[in-house]
Structure 1
Amino acid sequence: MLHLFPYYLALIIIIVLLIMLANRIKVAYPILLVLAGLGISFVPGVPLIQIDPELIFVIFLPPLLYEAAWAISWKELWKWRRIIGSFAFIVVFLTSFAVAWASSMFVPGFTLALGFLLGGIVSPPDAVSAGAILKFVNIPKRLESMLQGESLLNDASSLIIFRFALIAVSTGHFIVQDAALSFGWMVFGGVAIGLAIAYLFFKLHTLLPTDANTDLVLTLVAPYVMYIAAESVHSSGVLSVVSGGLLLSQRRHLFLSSTSRLRAVNVWESLSFILNGLVFMLIGLDLPEITAGLDGVSTITAVGYGLLITAVLIISRLLSAFGAIVVTMIARNFITVADSTYPGIKGPFVLGWAGMRGVVSLAAALSIPVHLSDGVAFPQRNLILFITFIVILSTLLLQGLTLPYLIRVFRLPDSDHHLPEEEDYHLMYKKLVAESLTHLKTEYAAQVNEHPALQQLVRKWEDSNQLLDDELQTSDHKAIYLQLLDQQRQWLRQWNKDPVTNEEVVRKHLLRLDLEEERVHYL
């Protein structure tokens, strides 16, 4: 393993370069990484990469789900809970059923149980691919929230279908009562375990004398504890991580200091960056292992099967997106829905088209055992692996490359947010200033009259021309101020050459300038 360490370092460098290239040409980086992995896998002498599915499920999946749970808006998630729940559970089941029917009808040797197994593998769209694409285009907040919320939950529902189908194929039996009880335990048990462990970590943060470093370590450990604890009792580790992450996310300001929150954001962004890059590169690199086991079926025929399943997935999701709108239009006559206006066909089409598949599908396929309990080879395992790979590759290329173009052409209006985000930000800032001035003058009138620093703060807030945030609304002002911050850094480094200068003081000022520059970038 040690002799491959330089190879893995080279892969990380390649990943970073490809992501920079993807950002430059405005293409979702998962597409470039998968294609690069494919290209590298054909280079003679390159070490064969074998993906351990446990590595994906235990090492990669918990932190990626946890980071997504912290990033999503709970308010938006709850607002669109019905359509998110429909896509994360009902649509996943319908898609699995469509794949099961199509594969049992058109792929020789496939039974309905094997079809459901394949359906559970390929039914969940990948959150990372959609997120990487959407950052280059303007999309209504509601669609972005729906896609993010769905991606948090659909992995759990698809893996539950996958487990039941795997049991049915392995044993030849499927007992409805037992399946219903197992399903209930997976869902409710996973959520309960995640919430319980999240509450335990919340108490650890609040009761123990933690600092920024220990807070960060605890946030890194939490998703793994949630996932492993749930999986060890045969409930859903995915739902455990998601529910626990959502609970802690909503309470982050109650148990994390500002220093801890700043460090956590930086560390988690870097961690998710490298993990996402690695898993998509590994998808491409795993092609030799997948094709090596493809016996009894020609590669062209297997590619045809993969494209057939891809078409079933795309059509099923599009029909589900429009079906969800029809159901909403009917349901508004009986219950209160988040939005009762007719959305047209553009929004549902974009929602249906954003169905790129990714690493969870490949990890699930790889986790299929090579042999059944009686020692017989697992039926159609290699073909399922190959079809899964074709589905991932074709959806990334077809939908991933065309989705930004469709969004630009459709020019979807954001009916929930009428003001540009930057203008909305400054209006809220002015409201905060007005409320703060009122609070100061009402609650601390005597202190304001006595302390010059408070008087200066009041004058600064009262004079809108001195508000830095308002001054930096234009790009010219931002550029000048950022240049001034760079000049201050140069002065500090120059002063630090003096032997009598305290370097620790210089470093604190440099950190302050970094925080100020980061703040300016968010304006």
Structure 2
Amino acid sequence: MPGSYDIATVLENFPFYVGLVVVIVLLILLAKRLQVAYPVLLVIGGLAISFIPGLPVLHIDPHLIFVIFLPPLLYEAAWSISWKELWRWRRIIGSFAFVVVFLTALSVALVANYYIPGFSLAMGFLLGGIVSPPDAVSAGAIMRFVKVPMRMASILEGESLLNDASSLIIFRFALIAVATGQFIWYQAALSFSWMVVGGIGVGLLVGWIFMKVHRFLHSDANTDIVLTIVTPYVMYTAAEVAHSSGVLAVVAGGLFLANNSHLFLSSTSRLRGFNFWENLTFVLNGLVFMFIGLDLPEIVNGLGSVSLSAAIGYGLLISAVLIVGRILAAYGAVIVTLIMRNFITVADARSPGLKAPLVIGWTGMRGVVSLAAALSIPADFPQRDLILFITFVVILCTLVVQGLTLPFIIRNMRLPDPDAVAPEEEVEALLRKQLADYALHHLEHKYGELLQSDPTLQQMAVKWTNSSAVSDGAMMTAAGKEAYRDILHHQRSWLRAKNRHEKLLNEELIRKYLRYLDLEEEKLEFV
């Protein structure tokens, strides 16, 4: 978005923004084909586009990221994560999201204070707060191409939900310390406590209110989706107005609503909402990573007296500190867990070996939150332009180096999955059989008399009986699925042809059965 919100300027550049969305889609498709994390290609693509002469100069307003982009992205992530896994691995997730973030910021502060001219310790902490949180989207995009143990994916997802809050808290305190020249630890401790407790409290309160609103209005699917769009913005804004953490508010409220969605959302609302949010986050993530690359020329022009080579060197130095620090933290977490298992109950007391900590340590790609935090520094702040440039180098370096090599490392590590008690296909087949058994038992015991006279219920009973009789592991083959898809395709063609030839046939009826065929094709993912 441009720095000015003049409508005429926006309309004048509108074709550029439309073209940008098209480029984003094409780059994401290319990333899937190359099996590369799409944030990598988007940043590189944005960087390449920024050098094309005659294009509008992009000025990223940090409020655009914090207020418009961040709440829905966090909210969708909170709905996607497993609360069970989050609670199971709460200790290691909490240590990475808070302790490791603080130690990372401290390491960056010490190195920046020693090696970068003009950087005080407080300014180093400011830089550390900016670059300390790894980006969730980048790691998640890579996990789609390579299989990792479930516990590792859960730890990375849980960490990414919380580390943005802790890093932004550090950033705020460092910003105040640099501006005022003093740091009062007990005031900072009280403020930190309120930001955490207040943020969680505001998020839960707003979530509870919206749940009551959904139930009171008896809303349909369209209204439910609109309310879910509004919810994260209200959570974030209310928490920020209360001077607490908007990030934690959205995460806490999102987790609360996700785990109670069956109480206030219909199945239709949940299905449509899932599809809507998947598309929305797809577009938002694409835009923010493209923005990172497009903003480079403005960042470079602001370096002033600092040479480009020196600024690049500082950026690479901080990147090395972040990469090495995270790997050491991953191994340190293992050592602490092995020691603490003698005193407290931990989720898994077994040693994870040497491979898993290395993979977790290598997943430290930085992203949009870091750039937004750097951009939010006041214009007259000392060393602002250099901090911005270092942040950009860190994002680019970690995304390209770690993002491109992580799939290779994961494939060659061949990580064992200690939670896999049986092949996934066997577990799924057993679950389907048990679900059918339960449904048949409930039908026979509660609706036995109705079952004798209702043909539809009798057909359902036969279906569940046959499902229960199927041997474990029996699933529709790939060839069977392909054949069924071909049948569905021909059914669609028949319906459309019938709709064209019979002029008096209600097209709504045709559309209804076309949607039914779409659902049947979707069901193939579960058979």
Q: Do 1:347 and 1:412's aligned partners in 2 also have CA atoms closer than 8 Å? A: yes
Deviations 1:99-139 (A, max 9, x none): 00000000111000000000000000000000001110010
Deviation at 1:455, TM superposition (A): 2.0
Q: Do 2:425 and 2:473's aligned partners in 1 also have CA atoms closer than 8 Å? A: no
The reply to whether residue 489 of structure 1 matches residue 484 of structure 2 is no
Give, in whole Å, the separation in 2 of the partners of 1:379 and 1:459: 75
Q: Which amino acid aligns with 1:513?
A: L
The reply to whether residue 41 of structure 1 matches residue 23 of structure 2 is no
Deviation at 1:472, TM superposition (A): 5.1
Deviation at 1:191, TM superposition (A): 0.4
The reply to whether residue 381 of structure 1 matches residue 384 of structure 2 is yes
Quickly say closer, same or farther: Cα 1:338–1:269, change in 2 above 3 A. same
The count of residues paired between Structure 1 and Structure 2 equals 517
Give, in whole Å, the separation in 2 of the partners of 1:91 and 1:522: 39
Tell me, what secondary structure is at the counterpart of 2:160? Answer: helix
Equivalent position to 1:317, from 319, 326, 349: 326
Gapped regions of structure 1 (runs ≥ 5): 372-377
Quickly say closer, same or farther: Cα 1:470–1:288, change in 2 above 3 A. same
Q: Do 1:152 and 1:242's aligned partners in 2 also have CA atoms closer than 8 Å? A: yes
Q: State the partner residue of 1:420.
A: 423
Deviations 1:35-82 (A, max 9, x none): 000000111111110100000000000000000000000000000000
Deviations 1:227-276 (A, max 9, x none): 01111121100000000000000011111001101110111000000000
Q: State the partner residue of 1:133.
A: 142
Q: State the partner residue of 1:402.
A: 405
Deviation at 1:420, TM superposition (A): 3.4
The reply to whether residue 233 of structure 1 matches residue 242 of structure 2 is yes
- Report the TM-score when normalising by structure 1: 0.97
Q: State the partner residue of 2:520.
A: 516
Give, in whole Å, the separation in 2 of the partners of 1:246 and 1:420: 29
Give, in whole Å, the separation in 2 of the partners of 1:449 and 1:273: 49
Quickly say closer, same or farther: Cα 1:478–1:472, change in 2 above 3 A. farther
Tell me, what secondary structure is at the counterpart of 1:368? Answer: coil
Deviation at 1:461, TM superposition (A): 2.0
The reply to whether residue 79 of structure 1 matches residue 83 of structure 2 is no
Superposed, 1:182-331 pairs within 5 Å as 182-331=191-340
The reply to whether residue 28 of structure 1 matches residue 37 of structure 2 is yes
Give, in whole Å, the separation in 2 of the partners of 1:208 and 1:347: 48
Q: State the partner residue of 1:478.
A: 481
Superposed CA RMSD in Å reads: 1.4
Deviations 1:297-329 (A, max 9, x none): 111111010000000001111111001011100
Q: Do 2:426 and 2:473's aligned partners in 1 also have CA atoms closer than 8 Å? A: no
Deviation at 1:471, TM superposition (A): 7.1
Using the TM superposition, name which of 238-247 and 295-304 deviates more: 295-304
Q: Which amino acid aligns with 1:478?
A: K
Q: Do 1:465 and 1:471's aligned partners in 2 also have CA atoms closer than 8 Å? A: no
Gapped regions of structure 2 (runs ≥ 5): 1-9
Q: State the partner residue of 2:510.
A: 506
Q: Which amino acid aligns with 1:423?
A: E
Equivalent position to 1:440, from 425, 440, 443: 443
Give, in whole Å, the separation in 2 of the partners of 1:77 and 1:125: 18
Deviation at 1:421, TM superposition (A): 3.0
Quickly say closer, same or farther: Cα 1:343–1:465, change in 2 above 3 A. closer
Q: Do 1:472 and 1:478's aligned partners in 2 also have CA atoms closer than 8 Å? A: no
The reply to whether residue 456 of structure 1 matches residue 465 of structure 2 is no
Deviation at 1:448, TM superposition (A): 1.6
Superposed, 1:77-156 pairs within 5 Å as 77-156=86-165
Quickly say closer, same or farther: Cα 1:465–1:89, change in 2 above 3 A. closer
Deviation at 1:456, TM superposition (A): 2.1
Give, in whole Å, the separation in 2 of the partners of 1:161 and 1:173: 15
Tell me, what secondary structure is at the counterpart of 1:295? Answer: coil
Q: Do 1:464 and 1:470's aligned partners in 2 also have CA atoms closer than 8 Å? A: no
Q: Name the % identity.
A: 63
Give, in whole Å, the separation in 2 of the partners of 1:470 and 1:261: 29
- Report the TM-score when normalising by structure 2: 0.96
Q: Which amino acid aligns with 1:52?
A: D
Give, in whole Å, the separation in 2 of the partners of 1:392 and 1:19: 18
Q: State the partner residue of 2:3.
A: none
Q: Which amino acid aligns with 2:495?
A: L
Deviation at 1:424, TM superposition (A): 2.0
Deviation at 1:452, TM superposition (A): 2.3
Tell me, what secondary structure is at the counterpart of 1:496? Answer: helix
